[in-house]
Structure 1
Amino acid sequence: MTVLTGVKAPFELTQYAIAIKQQGIDFVIRHYSHQAGKSLSLAEARALTDAGLQIGVLWEAPEAHLGYYTRAQGCADGAAAYLMAQAVIAQPSGSAIYFALPDVAEADGAASRYVEGVNQAFRAAAAGERQYKVGVYGSGACCQALLADGLASVSWLAAGGERDYTGYSLRQQAGALLPVDDGQRISVSMVSHSPERPAGLFRVL
């Protein structure tokens, strides 16, 4: 499998899609969110696809306190992300939706309970419809545990994550200023892909 290079951005990339591809980028990570300006739209997904870019998606809650990461909240976030993937983007079956798990979520089993809720929501929504892989974004210890427990299919190692954890599909890298049109630069985070594991990336029709 080929090594791929990606960028993550919390803002719309439609107007920069061709320029991003011209910089040697293979994929972009965008968000599903309750914040309209932050979320991937169908028009943006089509523009990225037309430019030859693959797409990955991340659900990242604005809250990071331990009390947020409950099974009930995982159900709610999982259902919302699934609905966006299916009804808004028509994200292809078999691709992944990643869920961000800050370090605070690892305490006292909170991460596991939250992702159990995500899985419950996916199972409830998937009957006879598109099916998506659950991905997790966090520390090596967190990713490894959730994959071992069968709660996630793919993992994304956060910046500063353990060097000895090699089971990731994606790895967060440093930030960068990417040249785009008219001499502009956009601030993005770089993401690397493990050639040994699929990452659940997709294109749209």
Structure 2
Amino acid sequence: MLQNKLSNHHIILASGSPRRQQFLKDLNIDFEIRLKDIEEIYPKHLKTSEITDYLSKLKADAFTNELNNNDILITSDTIVWLNNTALGKPKNYNEAFKMLSNLSANTHKVITSICITSKENQKIINDTTEVTFKTLTDEEINYYIENYQPYDKAGAYGIQEWIGKIGITHIKGSYFNVVGLPVHKLYKELMNF
């Protein structure tokens, strides 16, 4: 259905995330992966979805002069929002341990923005999911970091991995948003784009 609608377009996914790539495959979309090294820096006054909206647009803007008439570019950004602070990707073991310790016995928000860009149009959408962790022991956190190396994930965890299965007690909103892409919203926007 969607692939018919997009048959005259060339879809570009600007993401190295295997999870986001799999979501597009699951939607039966033919796409090309194009990556650019973008420094993910945003103005400090931004909060929640303002951050992910800004960063997803920043990633799209790097491709501005490269898009052809039939190209549709998809860029995205995800953060974990806890105690009025954005948690991005941990740089090392200590950062990952600290993030997971802070998420333990707490409810946080996972916010993902998607920027859909063509030569003529640009649309930014976002989604928020609330996630609650049980109290995680130091041993559980250590085991997860050592075995799953969650350095490419906002908030230092993947809900689809071991830590999500043993640690998450409640989720309010889209599960796929937490994995890294609110697929239902992406589908709707591509159908209308």
The TM-score, its normalising length taken from structure 2, stands at 0.31
The TM-score, its normalising length taken from structure 1, stands at 0.30
Higher CA-based Rg: 2
Q: Which has the higher contact order (CA 8 A, sep 6+)?
A: 1
